[in-house]
Amino acid sequence: MFLVLEDRLDEKASADILDALVQLGMQAELVRSSKQVLIFVHSDVRAVPTHKFTRIPGVARVMRTAPTSPLALSDELRTVDLTSNQNSLTIGGGAAPVIMAGPCSVEGREQLLELAHKVKSAGATMLRGGAFKPRTSPYEFPGLGQDALSYLREASIATGLPVVSEVMSAEQIEIALDYVDMLQIGARNMYNYELLKEVGKAGKPVFLKRGLSATIDEFVHAVEYIMLAGNNQVVLCERGIRTFETRTRNTLDLSAVPLLKSMTGLPVIVDPSHATGKRSLIRSMSRAAIACGADGLMIETHCQPNQSISDAEQAITPDDLALISADSLALFESLKGLDETPAAAAGPQGEPRPRLVVACATPGSN
Amino acid sequence: MFLVLEDRLDEKASADILDALVQLGMQAELVRSSKQVLIFVHSDVRAVPTHKFTRIPGVARVMRTAPTSPLALSDELRTVDLTSNQNSLTIGGGAAPVIMAGPCSVEGREQLLELAHKVKSAGATMLRGGAFKPRTSPYEFPGLGQDALSYLREASIATGLPVVSEVMSAEQIEIALDYVDMLQIGARNMYNYELLKEVGKAGKPVFLKRGLSATIDEFVHAVEYIMLAGNNQVVLCERGIRTFETRTRNTLDLSAVPLLKSMTGLPVIVDPSHATGKRSLIRSMSRAAIACGADGLMIETHCQPNQSISDAEQAITPDDLALISADSLALFESLKGLDETPAAAAGPQGEPRPRLVVACATPGSN
Amino acid sequence: MFLVLEDRLDEKASADILDALVQLGMQAELVRSSKQVLIFVHSDVRAVPTHKFTRIPGVARVMRTAPTSPLALSDELRTVDLTSNQNSLTIGGGAAPVIMAGPCSVEGREQLLELAHKVKSAGATMLRGGAFKPRTSPYEFPGLGQDALSYLREASIATGLPVVSEVMSAEQIEIALDYVDMLQIGARNMYNYELLKEVGKAGKPVFLKRGLSATIDEFVHAVEYIMLAGNNQVVLCERGIRTFETRTRNTLDLSAVPLLKSMTGLPVIVDPSHATGKRSLIRSMSRAAIACGADGLMIETHCQPNQSISDAEQAITPDDLALISADSLALFESLKGLDETPAAAAGPQGEPRPRLVVACATPGSN
Amino acid sequence: MFLVLEDRLDEKASADILDALVQLGMQAELVRSSKQVLIFVHSDVRAVPTHKFTRIPGVARVMRTAPTSPLALSDELRTVDLTSNQNSLTIGGGAAPVIMAGPCSVEGREQLLELAHKVKSAGATMLRGGAFKPRTSPYEFPGLGQDALSYLREASIATGLPVVSEVMSAEQIEIALDYVDMLQIGARNMYNYELLKEVGKAGKPVFLKRGLSATIDEFVHAVEYIMLAGNNQVVLCERGIRTFETRTRNTLDLSAVPLLKSMTGLPVIVDPSHATGKRSLIRSMSRAAIACGADGLMIETHCQPNQSISDAEQAITPDDLALISADSLALFESLKGLDETPAAAAGPQGEPRPRLVVACATPGSN
């Protein structure tokens, strides 16, 4: 990135800007091109919002070499607020972790109502459930569609829990709007830009899952599509990326949690169920997620996990969910204590804004 | 996997074995081949030690279709004990997290002594430092070799901290034995089976890092090489795997922590410095590591990180290390409380041995 | 996979079936379950069509443990035939390689007409050009939309070349139907199952690109979605997968060409432009693609590549395209000669159907 | 990269240098730092040898920001010449493709002698065979060691074929020197820098396989280790990289062939056996390899592939090898014809040195 300096700047002023950047841990160099005086910033600053630089006195303009996402990037924490059944729920911004629980697919009315009450007792603060299911094969169970949505609404009214469910087309958005409190875009559709624009216009909060081989930057650009269509209420979800490892269904990339929060300020939820695909790993990965700052968890829950129609091997019981909810609250309280000590507030290196990512290496250089 | 049943088993006895497996969450089927009665276990049981099955009355023999690692696999927690300078340090088995800190490369005697005292004050319980450095290019700084080892020993005597340092050949093992308390095999040499055999014969605890694209199973097989050569004192280290993501140097795979512990019972350490390559992520990833059960951390520390000869952008100061040490102890205590509640002790699904991995899916099936 | 044998089969008949499988290179075992006589096939047979087994006398039924794609899988070569401007073009089935060329994005009417004539002279047999462009960032050039489609149609009439262009939504399909001869689904939308169903109903041949981290099996399941909606006219495109390598934009996976052809019999095209992202690699990768049996190439071409609005660094000139067309024809003729020798026709191992994939290893086992 | 210009250069001279770079397809910019006049080259030029720039009049010095490999990088084609049993064999530099064939592991004297004669009749020009085998598990067949080497020598004398075999330690190098014509470093040891230094001192040609997750740049740096130790006789081998795909053992990265040849000028061999792990793909991938410029093939061959002790599912028979040898020669001749046309000689974009890689994108930027 280059900073174009104002025209009549003297040497002292230019040197001061250079100093300011070095203080921020960046490698930078003063250069004079044929037309202007520039500062060439060697560090990776894709995650640093432009106004960080334009605020520096003497800087006229920022020339980035890589695309940016002005709406998605932010150095302020942002919350997403749901109002459902006269209750409200805040996600992100330092609020207590949200626990989203429910079945992979809604399998029936009674089953869902029973489960909704149980997950609420187990500490869940939101209800999830698949109505329209993207399936690798067209012969797999596609979900109960609108019926499932009506059961979800009924369960929401009965328990007070807000509801999130996935949509895969403009038509499904239309249908789902009457039933859900938050619209989910699944991992397979993160690159479906037409759908992102549609969901951006729908006027409901959006729960956006990371694509299974999407880079952090592509994920942030997907947020930009939604925000540019008029919707700032976006919750991000890390759900594992595709790697060579076969012992887990995907590889949970927890570094994405602090990275995404520092880049966008948006709430970040972790889905350990899809990330690991293994019941026995869900509790420990939930703990890790909360410990590194996740704003909540999405966990597949089923009264009889082994009888689940889909993803049976990764669903857990409400009893297990209760342990995870308790863990999450306890860890959240512990961390609040740790973050409130004066030293901690300063962040590593005494940086005043610990959420700001200032990478010193060129990406891809290792 | 097939279980071969004893010859004269009646139908009731066979059915009982089948039931026992289903109770453990496994999918299994009774089959009669031309010669014998078998149970075909559909679940992935590579991580389950053989004696789990041979202990079941009526089971004559286990036929595995994939290679196993009888010495490395264990369903008992195992500790590694270091004795250095009349002090002893226990790694794993529920002991408090070990904090291994020090420079990427040892750069000089005074620098190291100063840093050793500072990291000790910051809560470190072991000293790390590179003497022989594997470098991608032969023109990069290769380390100070035996001089570095002698400075490490001196710093160890001055502070009481045991020392770990990397070796890359039989000759270097020979030299290092006089100076270090634990021999490190780096990620680049995890597949160097001749070196694993050598280090297995050396009679010192081994710190084995996961190869940068090694599967969990290959990592466990590497442990088997060391143990077969006569050394059971092995500490494992997850340090990030190579993926498509470029915002982090590697992708920290924290699922590996509970997986490796449940499969081998060995201590597992996390290295967030190499995993992320980014100073700003180290504190949050350290928290996540401890929260999911890691037995300690290895963290690159430097008094002036920006002046570090190698890996400057990932080193942190002793002051930052102090925050991480405090975090780790606080989280460790919180988790002990959570694990000691009766419900938690049973683990998800009420399994009596929560460390046992019982995967229901065929690996690679997603 | 299990083969369920007919009820009243004697031992000799069962053994014959077992022998037949072994002759085909498969590992199989006779087992008697409590209810029936089965053959357990250890080999990976996901790619083998079911009728291969049901045709064997004595086999009652096939029980697969992994999902299958009955419409997409085929052991007969299938062609896709386009009729455009009174001309017809056959893709696949042993026809001469199709050369699809044109700009990444259509940038204007005159530019496109000039280019269309030039690529035709350079040996192209189809015209490609982006009208609706999926872009990582919403601020990148999104394509000229319907205007671009009308220019493409005009260029098609002027040159006689059939036209392919990408669509990303049901609305765009509707619009594009009047202008193009083949509808492209891009890599980002391979998992967009709602779009696959829509394009399956549109009644035009479909050009389906592999998702950037899609497995071969997921790719074949995506074909199944299109075919199940009523459209068998599908052309597949390998365009590189996402890996850790950074010297190329993606990693061209040429093994996919013979694998996909043997599994589905459908035409397979290779796109070296997106796979490599580097002009200097396109000619050699085009040669490799034709040599391993690809039915054609899709190549980004531009009169002034460095002035291309998008993907400038991977576009080539019509002059370079002429070299690639000449290469392709020459290699195609060479290979025809080689395949016509009697020994070659038998294929490796003297298998009578060389296109049939019979894998001996469980996927994921390495 | 920066080019430091000579001190007393006038504006016209500086502009000429800038023009020269743009002509080469590079993006560059003239800048004046506080101390000197520089040209900042935005394009990726890691693969361009330094003398390309220092030869430009007015350029004083080249400042690279990424490490380089001066010995490994070359823009001249280089050959490796073996002399064995009074015969000589040239690899690379435009010579006919070398066919290296033989068993994964040498399993016995008679078996090897029979096979050696058969592969020679089938067109092989070198004999390969494993004596010391790196195995994922210590319980797998480790090879026959020195006995295997003596059988290989005997087979070499009997047939006249030069021999290549893998070594994994300094001791094994010492032993193997008396028996083999070329020392192989396997994929697992590509990062074993101590071994690279040893083999560089051994005075025999080296056959270096790419590590299973090594980038092209890391591979080239590994060559630098060998060359810096005094050995320029290096043959490179692409043998597949580790990705998410499970239908093939690894993913054959054929783009590596032209990339490595343009960067180093060294011979590049392709190993389709390990890359695909599937007998049915070996012939088509061999064709693709030769078509994109590979200097030869390494193919696992066995008289009874299904009875091979190791890697049974990827070995082919001598009869199949004969088809591949015939393919390779025919394609090599076809390509020679195509490359000799005047237009082709100029390469894409009329660049005078078609082997030179001039990448326009920053690595990792996509």
CA dist D267 and B333 (Å) reads 59
Please check the confidence at residue B65 and state whether its pLDDT lies above 80. no
Cβ–Cβ of D193/B242 closer than 8 Å? no
Cβ–Cβ of D323/C344 closer than 8 Å? yes
- The pLDDT score that the predictor gives to residue D341 is 60
The lowest-confidence range among A144-148, B311-315, C82-86, D140-144 is: B311-315
Cβ–Cβ of D191/B189 closer than 8 Å? yes
Subunits that touch chain B (at least 3 Cβ pairs < 8 angstroms)?
A, C, D
CA dist C251 and D251 (Å) reads 9
- Averaged pLDDT, C291-298: 98
- Averaged pLDDT, C227-251: 96
- The pLDDT score that the predictor gives to residue C26 is 81
Which chain D residue shows the shortest CA-CA distance from C284?
A: D292
More confident residue, D42 or C361: D42
Residue with tokens 């099955």: B53
Instruction: Give the closest-approach CA distance of B193 to chain C in angstroms.
Output: 17
Q: What is the pTM of this model?
A: 0.86
Of B258, B319, B338, the CB nearest to A327: B338
Instruction: Give the closest-approach CA distance of B194 to chain A in angstroms.
Output: 25
Among C294, C192, C283, C289, residue whose Cα is nearest residue C235:
C294
Please check the confidence at residue B354 and state whether its pLDDT lies above 70. no
- Averaged pLDDT, B135-158: 92
- Averaged pLDDT, D327-350: 73
Instruction: Give the closest-approach CA distance of D43 to chain C in angstroms.
Output: 11
The lowest-confidence range among A65-74, B269-278, C220-229, D167-176 is: A65-74
> CB of D253 within 8 A of CB of D292?
no
Question: In whole numbers, what is the pLDDT of chain D averaged over residues?
Answer: 87
Pull the structure tokens for residue A316.
Answer: 């857990």
Enumerate residue ranges in chain A where pLDDT < 50.
343-366
Judged by phi (left if over 0) then psi (alpha if -120 to 50, else beta), residue B123 lies in left
Cβ–Cβ of C138/A224 closer than 8 Å? yes
Please check the confidence at residue B6 and state whether its pLDDT lies above 70. yes
- The pLDDT score that the predictor gives to residue D60 is 83
Q: Which amino acid is at A121?
A: S
pLDDT above 70 coverage of chain C, percent: 90
Cβ–Cβ of A246/B275 closer than 8 Å? no
pLDDT in tens, D33-86: 656 777 878 777 766 777 778 888 888 888 766 667 889 999 899 999 998 888
D interface toward B at CB cutoff 8 Å?
A: 67-69, 134-140, 168-170, 172, 188-189, 191-195, 212-213, 217-218, 221, 224-225, 228, 242, 246, 364
Backbone angles phi and psi of C297, in degrees to 5: -135, 150
H-only helix segments in chain C: 11-23, 51-54, 109-121, 146-159, 170-176, 193-201, 216-228, 256-264, 272-276, 279-291, 318-340, 342-346
Instruction: Give the closest-approach CA distance of B149 to chain D in angstroms.
Output: 18
A interface toward C at CB cutoff 8 Å?
A: 67-69, 134-140, 168-170, 172, 188-189, 191-195, 212-213, 217-218, 221, 224-225, 228, 242, 246, 364
Which chain D residue shows the shortest CA-CA distance from A215?
A: D366
Which chain A residue shows the shortest CA-CA distance from D241?
A: A244
Pull the structure tokens for residue A200.
Answer: 């951006």
pLDDT above 70 coverage of chain D, percent: 89
Counting every residue, how long is chain D? 366
The lowest-confidence range among B135-149, C38-52, C96-110 is: C38-52
Question: In whole numbers, what is the pLDDT of chain B averaged over residues?
Answer: 87
Cβ–Cβ of D326/C334 closer than 8 Å? no
- The pLDDT score that the predictor gives to residue B46 is 67
D31 pairs with which residues across the strands?
A: A33, D38
CB under 8 Å to C132, separation ≥6 — which residues? C142, C143, C145, C165, C166, C167, C168, C172, C176
- The pLDDT score that the predictor gives to residue D16 is 87
Instruction: Give the closest-approach CA distance of D150 to chain C in angstroms.
Output: 30
- The pLDDT score that the predictor gives to residue D306 is 77
Among C298, C84, C135, C123, residue whose Cα is nearest residue C207:
C298
Q: Which residues in chain B are closer than 8 Å to C362, comparing Cβ atoms?
A: 65, 362, 364
- The pLDDT score that the predictor gives to residue B58 is 87
Per-residue pLDDT band for B357 (boundaries 50, 70, 90) equals: very low
Pull the structure tokens for residue D261.
Answer: 């040849």
A5 pairs with which residues across the strands?
A: A59
Of A33, A65, A364, the CB nearest to D31: A33
Per-residue pLDDT band for B90 (boundaries 50, 70, 90) equals: very high
Top residue of C9, C18, C31, C242 to mutate, by most chain B CBs within 10 Å, is: C31
* ipTM (interface predicted TM): 0.84
Cβ–Cβ of C364/A135 closer than 8 Å? no
- The pLDDT score that the predictor gives to residue B35 is 62
CA dist D366 and D364 (Å) reads 6
Among A106, A100, A103, A135, residue whose Cα is nearest residue A271:
A100
- The pLDDT score that the predictor gives to residue B271 is 98
The lowest-confidence range among A256-265, B97-106, B212-221, D25-34 is: D25-34
Domains of chain D as residue ranges with CATH: 2-68 (3.30.70.1140), 80-342 (3.20.20.70)
Top residue of B46, B246, B247 to mutate, by most chain A CBs within 10 Å, is: B247
More confident residue, D310 or D189: D189
Q: Which amino acid is at A4?
A: V
Of C32, C362, C363, the CB nearest to B31: C32
H-only helix segments in chain D: 11-23, 51-54, 109-121, 146-159, 170-176, 193-201, 216-228, 256-264, 272-276, 279-291, 318-339, 342-346
- The pLDDT score that the predictor gives to residue A364 is 27
- The pLDDT score that the predictor gives to residue A149 is 98
- Averaged pLDDT, D263-280: 96
Top residue of D18, D34, D246, D250 to mutate, by most chain A CBs within 10 Å, is: D34
Please check the confidence at residue C14 and state whether its pLDDT lies above 90. no
Instruction: Give the closest-approach CA distance of D32 to chain A in angstroms.
Output: 4
Residue A22 is inside which H or E element, if any?
Answer: helix A11-23
- Averaged pLDDT, C247-263: 97
How do A2-5 and A28-33 pair as beta strands?
Answer: unpaired
Instruction: Give the closest-approach CA distance of C321 to chain A in angstroms.
Output: 30
Per-residue pLDDT band for C251 (boundaries 50, 70, 90) equals: very high
CA dist D240 and D244 (Å) reads 12
Q: Which residues in chain A are closer than 8 Å to B250, comparing Cβ atoms?
A: 366
Pull the structure tokens for residue B313.
Answer: 């952008």
Classify residue C204 by its DSSP letter. S
- Averaged pLDDT, D281-297: 98
Q: Which residues in chain D are closer than 8 Å to B67, comparing Cβ atoms?
A: 136-137, 139-140
Long-range contacts, D332-340 (Cβ 8 Å, 24+): D332/D96, D332/D97, D332/D290, D334/C330, D334/C331, D334/C334, D335/C287, D335/D290, D335/D291, D335/D293, D337/C330, D338/C326, D338/C327, D338/C330
More confident residue, D343 or C353: D343
- The pLDDT score that the predictor gives to residue A235 is 98
Q: Which residues in chain A are closer than 8 Å to C192, comparing Cβ atoms?
A: 168, 188-189, 192, 195
Give the number of other Cβ atoms within 10 Å of residue D123's Cβ: 19
Residue D185 is inside which H or E element, if any?
Answer: strand D182-185
Top residue of B140, B174, B188 to mutate, by most chain D CBs within 10 Å, is: B188
- The pLDDT score that the predictor gives to residue A363 is 28
Please check the confidence at residue D173 and state whether its pLDDT lies above 90. yes
Residue A224 is inside which H or E element, if any?
Answer: helix A216-228
Q: Which amino acid is at A87?
A: N
Q: Which residues in chain C are closer than 8 Å to A138, comparing Cβ atoms?
A: 193, 221, 224-225, 228
- Averaged pLDDT, B206-233: 96
The lowest-confidence range among A172-176, A215-219, B267-271, C360-364 is: C360-364
- The pLDDT score that the predictor gives to residue C34 is 57
- The pLDDT score that the predictor gives to residue B346 is 42
Cβ–Cβ of B138/D246 closer than 8 Å? no
- Averaged pLDDT, C248-266: 97
- The pLDDT score that the predictor gives to residue C354 is 29
Q: Which residues in chain D are closer than 8 Å to B134, comparing Cβ atoms?
A: 191, 193
